Structure formats: structure tokens, C-alpha cells
Chain A
């Protein structure tokens, strides 16, 4: 069973490494971001502060904690992506993931067999947010920004532009990999936040393998 899951993971990661047209990729990421934004507008921004801060179980993340965590990654990536896109440069019609980029994206994608991922201290949310409503507003602002960046990136080369990851500036992922990783990461925690509002009792059912968010 474990072997089959690992084989499938590797196969999907390798599959992501074949060149793919950049425009459909960006459009599909834009569509997923639009869906995440609609969830934030329909659900999260209409919750009372107490509900935003309410954890589904002791030690589990509340809605505000999930969004705080995503905002902390947005704070790192979005200004860097915006600055890189502003510099301009040649456009490329196709994008090819690096092995590491494909690995990070596959690791983040929510779904059956999803692994629990260790959070670095600087991205670990407070147990109770001081201003949970502000966290929701910031998350919405960041997703609106991401939509604009995904559209601007249609004129860019997703292979050539590289963005340093949060763990170390020594590793710089291709912009196409960063976008895919961010959207998958957002999806993961938006789903977690939805589960947190749905019940205050059921925690996330995740396996115990520990990885690290880039």
C-alpha cells in the first residue's frame, strides 16, 4: 500500500517535469485561486471573530490560524514575484518544472494520502489571533494580488524567473514552480479552514510522515 502510494507520488512528480504550455497552466492556477477567493468571500469574511478564532480541537488550527499561516508565506513570495515580473524580460510559451519544484507542489496538493507537514516557527500562527478579522482581510488582499500576478506572468518566462524559497535564499525555484506550489499550499489550508468552521470536534486526518514547507 505504502509502496503503491510512493510509486504514484514519484510518477506524478515525474509527469509534472514534461514541458507544458504556460498559458493553460496559468489560467488553471488563476481559476483555482478564484475559487479559493470565492470561499474566503462567501465563508471566512462572514464569520464572527470568535468563530474565526475557534480551534476544532486543542492544538488544531482555527480559520484565523490557517489564514495567518498562508499570509506569512504570501508576505515572502508575492512582493518578490511582483518585483521580478516588473523587471520584464522575454516570454516563453512552455514551462518545465524542476524536480524539486514538482516535488514541493505534489507534497502540498491536498487529497487522499495527504501528509502532515511540519511548520517552521516563523510561519507558525499564534494559538489565538489578536485580530482575526484583519487576518481574513489580508488573506483576501493577497489572493487578489496573486490573481493579478498570475495574469501579468502571461508575458513572462516561467522558467527563467527564479524566486528564493522561505527556507534559504540559496534555493531559488522557477516562477512556474513557485506559482504551482503556492496555489496548492493555499488550497490545502483553505480546505483545512473550511473543516475548522464545519466542526469544532473533528481534527484533520493526516498521516504522521513529516515534511517541511519550502
Chain B
């Protein structure tokens, strides 16, 4: 993949942070100092169940997913992550316990990433960073509740239409079988439905 412009990524991180909870200068300097650039190819598994999540990621480029595989090898795609947003197995980061989910890249991806122990130390030292994390999580939680409501109330076609409205470009970037899984349908039904909706 091409080299990502990381100085620009720090500016995007600053903008995202400012949109959630503006930090005083000393807190921002302390937070900004801890992030390291990282990039990888498609289908790279960044976190596995049983391992603690080691980083909080800031997604600069690419799409990833957090997913679950059960004992019957059934897969559930739980969340997609796009730039500019935070990524990683968030419950493992906050609980500092082994992850129960996978975090993998869908497309070649570029990140800034912050070691989890450093994040916790910064939250202890800077109440504003603690507030930033709490508010950021509240937004994430709100998104998860919205998705749960959508899964339980909307038909498959409505869920597909909603996805196409929110992120039409994703059809050209991500294998449709993962989109089908995210929407709670099998790949064949997804293709049939997509053809009905589009053609």
C-alpha cells in the first residue's frame, strides 16, 4: 500500500478529539505524544480472542471489522470501523481483560495506535482524557444500541437500504459476504436483494 501521510493523521486525530471533548493543551500534548504510526495489508488479524487488546487504534485509512466466531464456526460481524474513528476491541481495552472478539482489516489500512497501558495511565493523570474516553464510548454505545434496534425492527431489505444510504461506497470495497453477515442475512439472499434494490 502507498505510504500514508501521518502528520496529516495527527491533525485528523486532533479534530476528532476536539469534536468529542476539547482538551487543554497539556492534556493534548501528553495524549498526542503516545501514538505510533502503523500500517498493514488486507485480511490482517490485529487482535485475537484470548489475547488482551494491546492498542487503541485511530483509523487513518481503510476499513476493518470486529467479529466473533462461535464454537460451531459461525461468524458474526459486529462492527465496521472507518476513518476517522477509533478502533480496536473496545471492551478488552477498558476492562483490560483478554479479548473475546477478533479485530481484522478488510482493506489495506493505516493507523495511529496508542498502547493500552499508556491510555490508562493518561486517563489517571488527566481527568480531561478520562472524560474524552467516557464521552467517546457513550457515542459508540449509542451507535451499538441503534444497530440493535435496526436488527430487531427492520426487514432485511430495509437494513440493506439503510446501509446503502449510509455507506454506498462500501459495496465496491468489501466482499459482499461480510456485508451480508453484518446485516444478518446469508450471502445468496444479500445478492438477490441487492439486485432487486439496484437493477
Contacts and interface: CB of A to CB of B under 8 A. Distances in A.
Partners in one complex: yes
Interface of A: 30, 34, 37, 41-42, 45-46, 48-49, 133-134, 137, 140-141, 144, 147-148, 151
Contact of A48 (B1, B173, B175, B195): B195
B172 interface: yes
A45 B41 contact: no
B199 A48 contact: yes
B159 interface: no
B171 A46 contact: yes
Given A42-B172, A46-B172, A137-B175, A34 B195 contact: no
Interface in B185-199: 187-188, 191, 195, 199
B94 interface: no
Contacts of B171: 45-46
B144 interface: no
Contacts of B195: 48-49
Contacts of B176: 45, 137
A151 to B, nearest CB: 7
Give the interface residue-count category, chain B: 10 to 19
Interface in B161-193: 171-177, 187-188, 191
11 contacts: A34-B1, A34-B42, A41-B172, A41-B174, A48-B195, A49-B191, A133-B191, A134-B188, A137-B176, A140-B177, A144-B42
Nearest to A146: B43
Which 8 A/B pairs are nearest by Cβ-Cβ distance? A42-B172, A133-B191, A140-B175, A144-B43, A48-B199, A45-B176, A147-B43, A48-B195
Contacts of B173: 41-42
A137 B172 contact: no
B175 A133 contact: no
A137 B179 CA distance: 12
A124 B4 CA distance: 42
B98 interface: no
Contacts of B199: 48
B108 interface: yes
Given A45-B175, A148-B43, A151-B41, 13 more contacts: A34-B41, A34-B42, A37-B42, A41-B174, A42-B173, A49-B195, A133-B188, A134-B188, A137-B175, A137-B177, A140-B175, A140-B177, A147-B42
A48 B199 CA distance: 8
A151 B43 CA distance: 10
Contacts of B42: 34, 37, 144, 147
Contacts of A141: 175, 177
A126 to B, nearest CB: 19
A5 B6 CA distance: 46
Interface centre among A37, A42, A45, A151 (most CB of B within 10 A): A45
Nearest to A45: B176
A22 to B, nearest CB: 17
Interface centre among A42, A48, A133 (most CB of B within 10 A): A133
Given A41-B172, A137-B177, A34 B108 contact: yes
Contacts of A148: 43
A148 B108 CA distance: 13
Interface in B41-59: 41-44
A46 to B, nearest CB: 6
B196 to A, nearest CB: 10
A146 to B, nearest CB: 10
Contacts of A46: 171-172
Nearest to A140: B175
B118 to A, nearest CB: 28
A46 B177 CA distance: 12
Nearest to B179: A45
